[in-house]
A and B are shown apart, each in its own frame.
Chain A
Amino acid sequence: MSNIPTELKYSQTHEWIEIAHDGTGTVGITDHAQELLGDIVFVEVPEIGSEVSREEPCAVVESVKAASDIYAIVTGEIIEGNEELADAPETVNSNPYIDGWIYKIKIADESELDELMDAEAYQAFIDESEE
């Protein structure tokens, strides 16, 4: 059973977003995603200032097995990448929702958030895809 915090929103490509008081978002991959990927050995975070579009690849997570694209969960401008992951990529495995965040984003269109899943819907989505 993977961990799915109720205060976050989720995409079908297994990213999560947390909205701060100033309206910016912090994004990472879910516990379920890190489990599927296996031991993570490298994370390529997006560049600060880059504009990303929803559902387009914007970062890469490499496990010992393979490289996987991370898709932008919403459209916006990257305001920070998690530089700590350069020396400790395994943080994404051990703590995917807090220290293992990947980037922070200034959200262009808040209405895109409405299309994401809450924890309950994401749990159902995982259950369905595993059947």
Chain B
Amino acid sequence: MGKKTPLYECHLEMNGKIVDFSGWDMPIHYGSQLNEHKQVRAEAGMFDVSHMTVLDMQGDNVKGFLSTLLANDIARLTQPGKALYSCMLNENGGVIDDLITYYMNDTFYRTVVNAATRIKDIAWITKVAHDFDVTITERTDLAMIAVQGPKARDIASKLLPSDLQASSLALKPFFAVESNNTFVARTGYTGEDGFEIMLPNDDAAPLWRKLAAAGVKPSGLGARDTLRLEAGMNLYGTDMDESITPLECGLNWTVAWEPSERNFIGRQALEAKKDNIDTQFSGLLLLDKGVIRNHQKVIVEQADGSTSEGEVTSGTFSPTLGQSIAMARIPKTKADRCWIEIRGKKLAAKIIKPVFVRNGKSCIEPR
């Protein structure tokens, strides 16, 4: 018996197939992962992400704290509600977790971290916060529903409390608005437009049922994974972990080197490493039939005819493209082809940027 979110009964009612996810009883699908995936790309789907950890960080020196804790620069957030994606690093530059932080006001930021890393994240954050006199409050009183897809905002905004209907629809991407403990952010993990809605636990099931009645299809963790992979979004624990720096998992863009005097945790290690990285984080498109899976071997042929090996970090079948895709850490190369070892056979794949589908459309150039 795992932990249950306030939406657990809704999942059972809607035929959710329940699996264990980091100690939580969560729906993997409600009948067909493929249909759920396609529904999010075409119209709108919703995900229970209440298992994720919401942390409110408050104090006069909270900005200085986050400026030390995060590899991205919290000073980039100057407007209320604005969100920042960042990694939180250890002293070796390894990724403890990736997270989103929202600026509420100068003494109050809200961060959402992964469910699977909750305990170590809270331990680390609390330890770092100690020197800054910042209060960390875990918001277990809030549930979270991600409503994603081209029709998601139109449908969901009408079902929110009246004081959030217009303001939520007016949000720019990567902004949030809050009223009476309901927090609506125009963010997501699918490559589609949509909202992530945090709300009091007791309000979650009523909103979920209203969304379902309005045509938003319940979607499980299975579709969430294929959607994020098509969108080229990293998954913690799979594409990176504490032994991997952001420079080795395609997250260079989230490391703010300027201002140079900002001494975030892990900075020294990253600076020592940044000119000596011999891998690249790439997208792979399987040209043959088959399905690429995590940890399969990638063989790259270099210009001098030698071969070297890399590894698939996330692989799956792309429902939108109808072929298999992957993210992989491979030796640095100018080649645009590689081979993936699948059950003893070498299958050809194209090396591309790790973004496959955005806003319902393929990002892949035709072969």
Contacts and interface: CB of A to CB of B under 8 A. Distances in A.
Interface of A: 38-39, 41-42, 44, 60, 62, 64-67, 86
Contacts of B291: 41-42, 62, 67
Nearest to B293: A67
A64 B293 contact: no
Contact of B226 (A42, A44, A60, A64): A64
28 contacts: A38-B29, A38-B32, A38-B33, A38-B222, A39-B32, A39-B33, A41-B34, A41-B291, A42-B289, A42-B290, A42-B291, A42-B317, A42-B324, A44-B290, A60-B343, A62-B290, A62-B317, A64-B222, A64-B226, A64-B316, A64-B317, A65-B28, A65-B33, A65-B222, A66-B293, A67-B291, A67-B343, A86-B289
A11 to B, nearest CB: 22
B59 interface: no
Contact of A64 (B33, B289, B290, B343): B33
B319 interface: yes
Interface residues of B, number: 16
Interface in B189-229: 222, 226
Nearest to B35: A39
Contacts of B32: 38-39
Contacts of B289: 42, 86
Contacts of B343: 44, 60, 67
A66 B225 CA distance: 13
Nearest to B37: A64
A118 B29 CA distance: 31
A66 to B, nearest CB: 7
A62 B290 CA distance: 8
A62 B33 CA distance: 14
Contacts of A66: 293
Interface in B308-340: 316-317, 319, 324
B28 to A, nearest CB: 8
A42 B317 CA distance: 9
User: Would you list the 3 A-B pairs with minimal beta carbon distance, nearest first?
Assistant: A39-B34, A41-B317, A62-B291
A41 B289 CA distance: 10
Contacts of A64: 33-34, 222, 226, 316-317, 319
A39 B319 CA distance: 10
Contacts of B222: 38, 64-65
A42 B322 CA distance: 10
A41 B319 CA distance: 9
Nearest to B319: A64
Contacts of A42: 289-291, 317, 324
